[in-house]
Structure 1
Amino acid sequence: MDKRLLSFLIIGVVFLCLATLSQSESEDEDDGVVVTEEQDPVIEDVSYRSPTPSGSVYFAEHFDDTQQFKKKWVLSEAKKDDIDDDIAKYDGKWEVEAPQNNGLSGDFGLVLKSKAKHAAISARLDRPFKFTVKPLIVQYEVTLQEGQECGGAYLKLLSHGKQTADLRQFHDKTPYTIMFGPDKCGNDHKLHFIFRHKNPLNGTFSEKHCKKPKDRVEEPFKDKLPHLFTLHVRPDNTFTVKLDHQVINEGNLLDDFTPPVNPSPEIDDPEDKKPAEWDEREKIPDPEARKPDDWDEDAPAMVPDATATKPDSWLEDEPDMIPDPNAEKPDDWDSYLDGDWEAPLIPNPLCESAPGCGPWKPPQINNPAYKGKWHAPLIDNPNYKGKWKPRRIPNPYFFEDKNPFRMTDIAAVGLELWSMSNMILFDNIIITDDQSVADAWAAETFDLKRRKLDKEGESLFSRLVTYTNEQPWLWAVYIIVIGLPIVLVLVFCCGSSSQEKEEQRRVAEAKKTDAVSPDDDVDEDDDASQQAPVNTDSNSQLETQQEEEGAGEEEEAEASGGEVDAEEPKTEEAVSEAGGAPRSPKKHTSRKE
């Protein structure tokens, strides 16, 4: 009966929860909360079409149009200076092709096909970018399809001027305004942001290197997946570097570059020299100290142990090494050319079980008389003047550029690389002054790629968890659908089994003690005298003792002529206290009766 009640109760809870959830969903629909197709855990295939930039764009390239690519991009025909002719040429191979793995249909990129070769290619901007009142935003994708051993995958934003008029002469010395992107060699992983700053006094240029990111940037070099690199430089001299939409570096052009943009207003005087009498020694040997007379500098550090004795079993006449008795002279041994042949030496086997062989010498111990070389103790130098420094003078080359953002105009974008890894894919390059334009460009390109990769790499279980997190009420359904059947199984199997075992235990205990079981029909109103005494072989020792005591009382009563009380003084409670099972009271009649 208990099982049935519990089953009805659990089933009722299930239907109540389902009704509550159904009502909750209905309320959500009434409130305008509708599950859309975007919330469907089954994601449709990602469709791609070549993006079309809108807004303020200086350069945009998706590499999907091969004919347009050939018109826009120029291969370098230059040679590097100061190296051998066989490696000076920019003869690295470039191809426009689809990614090796998991690419979008119709999406192509520019791939560096060769390794250990110099390669350079560039394209002119639609219009030059001028550093005035609008920010510069550079964004592009890199996929290191074969990983990266040593080499770069960075962009160069080429400066406007005569040296960039002919892009066929693009090489490593071509002036650039900004270099941005990943670079690696060995265990040194970098994400470059370098800009060339023009000295306002003499017009010379110097490279300013950004500080290293706080976060590690090793993942793009080894996971062989597409990654999005974004540089944002603002007119207030601040900058932000992002990797896959996440900020990994930021700062100020004035404070976070080496060497700094502005030189120090003072410098060390190159004409100033340290005086000859200048004493920089903080401590000097005590000139008044003298070596003690008993100081022996010639005493050895180690001496033989005078207390050591030679072990009795020391084999002094046996050498440590003996000629190998099993060795044989080679057949081609020429005594005239090779000399007399001698067997190679091997450890003496007799010495293995002995404490030692050969002449015995006492072991060496530390010499208690050894003091080493004597040195005078050090004292404070009374002539100490501190560390000498040249005097400071005004920096004749000092200037203060408060707005380093105003860099040289950008005329073109180029890739000038040398890499020990091939199959480096570049894609979706955009240069703009509007962050929303760059975000929209990434949404139509990079974000679609990563969505497809995430979909393909996502297991059914992870999809279910993601969808459930978006719909938290599903957790209650899982608990009801999965949890309650488990509870029912445990109740019907484990619960009933334990009850049956308990029932069997009570029955067995009753049989052992002759206790009254619930099934025994006993009329409590019947006279105790009408109950037949139970005398079986299974009576306990307590019953036997009671009968012997009763018999003794009867004999005493007969001898005295009296009668024994018909009621036994030991009641059921007394028997229970003695540890036996409760028994019905017994009566004893006298022998006289």
Structure 2
Amino acid sequence: FFSLTMKTALVIALVSVFVLAVAGKAHFSENFNDDAWTDRWVESTSKGSDAGNWVHTAAKFAIDENDKGIKTGTDYRFYQLSSMFDEFSNKDEDLVFQFSIANEQRLDCGGGYIKLLPAGIDQQNFNGDSPYNIMFGPDICGSTKRVHVILSYKGENHLINHNIPCETDTFTHVYTLIIHPDQTYEVLIDNVEKRSGSLTEDWDFLAPKQIKDPNQSKPEDWVDQATIPDPSAVKPEGWDDIPQFIADPDAEQPSDWDSELDGDWEAPLMPNPDYEGEWSAPMIPNPAYKGQWEHPLIDNPDYEYDSEIYSFNTAGVGIEIWQVKSGSLFDNILVTNDPAEARAAAESVIALRDHEKKAQAAEDEAARLEREEEMARLEAELEEEEEEEDAHLHDEL
């Protein structure tokens, strides 16, 4: 019995250690629900009077008024805010960057992205020139409606080579970026994958594996003209004698035409249906055609694979945007190494959107009824005025 108990305890201990070893770690989590959020975040002063005001508030259709975020509150302003934490490296583990945003103003021009920051950021002077590791999230202006995924590599910021459409309505949406140690990535919106692939294929981090051989050029006698004029073709006899215009055979001299006064009548000209323009020999396949010449490729001596493009040393989160029309609510920022944790957190936010949609529909319906009532009132007033005017005219008669 004692031996069995000890073995059971040992198994439980080992399982516990294993669970702790594989458990995810949230490096940063912010839900802005308490007033002390201002102690965790530093607002940059770099833009002076051009900086907009942040509003600590719940979403427009929030179920719980205590569930708050921070909303951009001033039109035509810059917003620069950052929060720092203990530096970590995502080497050999997943990096998950997630947040929610609701563009309650129906954003027409402005950013909605967030940055992951390295250590050493001057928070008081945090601005668009401050270094960052990752810039991720929606950006809308005119016809541009995309999700930015910009990664820093060796001091340069690289934009993803694909367009990922972002959400454009007024509801809350969750944006998630997952970067794996195998140098693959995923972009999700509301836990639905919108793009995935390879860091080395979808960004221009590395020199190309192959380049055109500088010692090769197209041979002078290379024939890449697929067709040629038929050398045996002969221009038909009389081809050049066909006029471009002829007198309209259906035209008739006007009955009031006076030849003595108007001169001899001539029918107006019309395009000649038999005219075919300048003759040219028909084209035939070129017997000497060799196809399109392709420049031979060689291995690029400057190509060097880097297995750690995915790895960043991260110590902060920053919002650095400009908006024409304010009203974007940021919330639920999460930086973790556990995609499952992020997915669960996103689901709890996504579940609230059904309420948002129903509340918006109810508001729209109430507005529609109000417009109809106002229209009916105006029509009744107009009808009453017309009746009074008719009565007044009747009395005068």
**TM-score w.r.t. structure 1 length?**
0.50
Question: How far apart, in 2, do the equivalents of 1:416 and 1:193 lie?
Answer: 15
Question: How far apart, in 1, do the equivalents of 2:90 and 2:206 lie?
Answer: 19
Q: 1:300-311 residue pairs with structure 2 within 5 A?
A: 300-306=243-249, 308-310=251-253
By how many angstroms is 1:374 displaced?
A: 1.9
Contact 1:92 1:113 in 2 (8 A): no
Question: How far apart, in 2, do the equivalents of 1:430 and 1:302 lie?
Answer: 77
Distance 1:251 1:383, change over 3 A: closer
Distance 1:116 1:300, change over 3 A: farther
Contact 2:55 2:72 in 1 (8 A): no
Distance 1:145 1:359, change over 3 A: farther
By how many angstroms is 1:156 displaced?
A: 1.0
Amino acid at match of 1:281: Q
Q: 2:71 aligns with which of 97, 111, 130?
A: 111
By how many angstroms is 1:425 displaced?
A: 1.2
**Corresponding residue SS for 2:306:** coil
Question: How far apart, in 2, do the equivalents of 1:368 and 1:448 lie?
Answer: 70
Amino acid at match of 2:41: W
Contact 1:94 1:110 in 2 (8 A): no
Q: 2:318 aligns with which of 384, 408, 414?
A: 414
- 1:96 equivalent in structure 2: 55
Q: 1:280 aligns with which of 210, 224, 228?
A: 224
Amino acid at match of 2:132: Y
Q: Please, what is the CA RMSD of the aligned residues?
A: 3.5
Q: 2:44 aligns with which of 76, 83, 89?
A: 76
Amino acid at match of 1:118: F
By how many angstroms is 1:120 displaced?
A: 1.9
1:450 aligns with 2:353: yes
Question: How far apart, in 1, do the equivalents of 2:222 and 2:351 lie?
Answer: 71
1:247 aligns with 2:206: no
Distance 1:391 1:421, change over 3 A: same
- 1:505 equivalent in structure 2: none
By how many angstroms is 1:136 displaced?
A: 1.6
Question: How far apart, in 2, do the equivalents of 1:442 and 1:286 lie?
Answer: 68
By how many angstroms is 1:284 displaced?
A: 2.5
| Corresponding pairs, count | 336
Q: 1:445-484 residue pairs with structure 2 within 5 A?
A: 446=349, 449-450=352-353, 452-453=355-356, 456=359
Deviations 1:528-554 (A, max 9, x none): xxxxxxxxxxxxxxxxxxxxxxxxxxx
Question: How far apart, in 2, do the equivalents of 1:412 and 1:152 lie?
Answer: 19
Unaligned runs of 5+ in 2: 1-22, 363-397
Question: How far apart, in 2, do the equivalents of 1:149 and 1:283 lie?
Answer: 51
**Corresponding residue SS for 1:389:** coil
By how many angstroms is 1:134 displaced?
A: 2.6
Distance 1:294 1:136, change over 3 A: same
Amino acid at match of 1:190: R
Question: How far apart, in 2, do the equivalents of 1:98 and 1:253 lie?
Answer: 37
Amino acid at match of 1:172: G
Question: How far apart, in 2, do the equivalents of 1:443 and 1:288 lie?
Answer: 75
- 2:28 equivalent in structure 1: 59
Question: How far apart, in 2, do the equivalents of 1:174 and 1:396 lie?
Answer: 33
- 1:428 equivalent in structure 2: 332
Amino acid at match of 2:318: G
By how many angstroms is 1:139 displaced?
A: 1.8
Deviations 1:430-463 (A, max 9, x none): 212234543564566x25743643674698xxxx
**Corresponding residue SS for 1:168:** helix
Larger Rg computed on CA atoms: 1
Contact 1:241 1:249 in 2 (8 A): yes
Question: How far apart, in 2, do the equivalents of 1:98 and 1:307 lie?
Answer: 81
- 1:151 equivalent in structure 2: 110
Distance 1:431 1:63, change over 3 A: same
Q: 1:296 aligns with which of 221, 240, 254?
A: 240
**Corresponding residue SS for 2:39:** helix
The answer to which structure has the higher strand fraction is 2
By how many angstroms is 1:110 displaced?
A: 1.6
| Identical columns (%) | 32
Distance 1:280 1:250, change over 3 A: closer
- 2:306 equivalent in structure 1: 401
- 1:511 equivalent in structure 2: none
Q: 1:582-593 residue pairs with structure 2 within 5 A?
A: none
Deviations 1:96-138 (A, max 9, x none): 32146223322332222233333322111x2123122332222
Higher relative contact order (CA 8 A, sep 6+): 2
- 1:187 equivalent in structure 2: 143
Amino acid at match of 2:98: Q
By how many angstroms is 1:289 displaced?
A: 4.9
Distance 1:455 1:151, change over 3 A: closer
By how many angstroms is 1:147 displaced?
A: 0.5
Q: 2:121 aligns with which of 155, 159, 165?
A: 165
**TM-score w.r.t. structure 2 length?**
0.71
Distance 1:249 1:393, change over 3 A: closer
- 1:390 equivalent in structure 2: 295
Distance 1:361 1:123, change over 3 A: farther
By how many angstroms is 1:146 displaced?
A: 0.6
